[in-house]
Structure 1
Amino acid sequence: MGRWEPDARGRLRRAAMELYVERGFEQTTVAEIAARAGVTARTFFRHFADKREVLFAGSAQLQDALVQALDAAPAGATPREAVAAVLDVAAQFLGGHHGHSRARHSVITANPELRERELIKMARLTAALADGLRRRGLPEPDATLAAEAAGVVVRVAFERWVAGPGDTGLDTVMRETLGRLLSVA
């Protein structure tokens, strides 16, 4: 592809994921990603700060979407209902492309540095949800417990979903996982 073709960012994401799966994250260079996408390394750095960012670029948008869903829950919603609304948005945000999600998850789980970054992302997300629950008037430690529970449901449901064939939507797996948590807690 020529470097002036549209959607350089998308081509870079696809090329990076292909190379990460084929060669491994650590063995893949920015130059190789750019070459496969048909752009220069300079173009890569216009879109991503480094090769890790290809995997984590949507983290801020995910957090914003989940906090907005929490804030948009009706004032009379119980904490459980508010968290369920957050989980629905998480499923919409994360559940659109099973194959991509599976590949991304395999790349991250194969690399300790990337696993650590994923855990940090989840910690920031649950902290933001706890803040949102406190703004809704939920006291401590309930706000932190509810936010951490939501984080556990997202993580466990996502891992179950990417491990499966993808014929069940992530939203269904999220609801099932929340139900299981409530039955064992």
Structure 2
Amino acid sequence: MSRWEPNARGRLEQAALALYGERGYEKVTVAEIAARAGLTERTFFRHYADKREVLFDGSNRLQQTLLDAVAGAPPGQPPIELVGTAIAALGALFDAGERRELARQRQAVIDRNPELQERELVKLARLGAALTDALHEHGIPVPAASLAAQIGMAVFRVTFVRWLDGAARRSFAELAGAAFDELREMTSRSTPPTART
């Protein structure tokens, strides 16, 4: 096999998602993923620690994007506006190429496996903690930073589900903006607004 492996990481991700969808996460081996991708097990382990990490590979990029958006925001923004900017910035990751279909496949695998659901919750908790720290470093006091980050992560989860559905084919950033608009309406009215999709 050639030493040059174009887009090995992407090929491994696509192979893993296809196999997990066909046979279930538990029944698929690293050897099978590598073979489906036309690569070796050694190549797999150069990119991923184990077969679970194929599903959570983007966590560091998500976190860095959130942190960069907060760090790059002008000082003095209200905490919720700052979080809204950070969540909308994730659109650059989600709306690139064919990410929506891969994300649907990934989520379907996670939804069928309690161990993976737990790992997803850990990932979201880490993102929330990192966002809290970034907000605090940006000058937001800790209680407000923590509350804003948790609200932001709740909006992120709602936005992600709507984006996966994709019925309206709106971008992640547009859906995040709409979710924050709904949040503002809910906190300024006595009756909840009609849900938007």
Q: TM-score, normalised by structure 2?
A: 0.87
**TM superposition shift of 1:19:** 0.7
Query: For 1:32 and 1:166, how far apart are their aligned partners in 2?
Result: 36
Q: Does 1:10 align with 2:10?
A: yes
163-172 vs 5-14, which deviates more? 163-172
Contact 1:34 1:40 (C-alpha < 8 Å) held by counterparts: yes
Q: Which residue of the partner structure matches residue 143 of structure 1?
A: 145
Q: Which residue of the partner structure matches residue 132 of structure 2?
A: 130
Query: For 2:77 and 2:13, how far apart are their aligned partners in 1?
Result: 38
Q: Which residue of the partner structure matches residue 90 of structure 1?
A: 90
Contact 1:153 1:178 (C-alpha < 8 Å) held by counterparts: yes
Alpha-carbon distance change, 95 to 110 in structure 1, aligned in 2, over 3 angstroms: farther
Q: Does 1:172 align with 2:177?
A: no
Query: For 1:181 and 1:26, how far apart are their aligned partners in 2?
Result: 39
Query: For 2:17 and 2:87, how far apart are their aligned partners in 1?
Result: 26
**TM superposition shift of 1:173:** 1.2
Alpha-carbon distance change, 95 to 116 in structure 1, aligned in 2, over 3 angstroms: farther
Name the Cα RMSD after superposition. Answer: 1.7
Q: Does 1:155 align with 2:161?
A: no
Contact 1:71 1:132 (C-alpha < 8 Å) held by counterparts: yes
Query: For 1:136 and 1:167, how far apart are their aligned partners in 2?
Result: 34
Q: TM-score, normalised by structure 1?
A: 0.93
SS at match of 1:52: helix
Q: Identity of aligned pairs, percent?
A: 49
**TM superposition shift of 1:82:** 1.2
Paired residue for 1:108, among 101, 110, 123?
Answer: 110
1:61-96 CA distances to partner (integer Å, 9 max, x unpaired)?
210111111011001222222112101112222233
Query: For 2:41 and 2:106, how far apart are their aligned partners in 1?
Result: 22
Q: Which residue of the partner structure matches residue 32 of structure 2?
A: 32
Contact 1:126 1:148 (C-alpha < 8 Å) held by counterparts: yes
User: Which structure 2 residue ranges, 5 or more long, are not aligned?
Assistant: 188-197
- How many residues align? The count is 185
Contact 1:48 1:54 (C-alpha < 8 Å) held by counterparts: yes
**TM superposition shift of 1:141:** 1.8
Query: For 1:154 and 1:2, how far apart are their aligned partners in 2?
Result: 41
**TM superposition shift of 1:137:** 2.1
Q: Which amino acid aligns with 2:74?
A: P
Query: For 2:10 and 2:168, how far apart are their aligned partners in 1?
Result: 22
Alpha-carbon distance change, 115 to 93 in structure 1, aligned in 2, over 3 angstroms: same
Query: For 1:151 and 1:29, how far apart are their aligned partners in 2?
Result: 33
**TM superposition shift of 1:164:** 3.1
**TM superposition shift of 1:155:** 0.6
1:35-78 CA distances to partner (integer Å, 9 max, x unpaired)?
10111112111111000111111211210111111011001222
Q: Which residue of the partner structure matches residue 41 of structure 2?
A: 41
Moved over 3 A (4+): 1-5
Q: Which amino acid aligns with 1:182?
A: R
Query: For 1:109 and 1:143, how far apart are their aligned partners in 2?
Result: 30
**TM superposition shift of 1:24:** 1.2
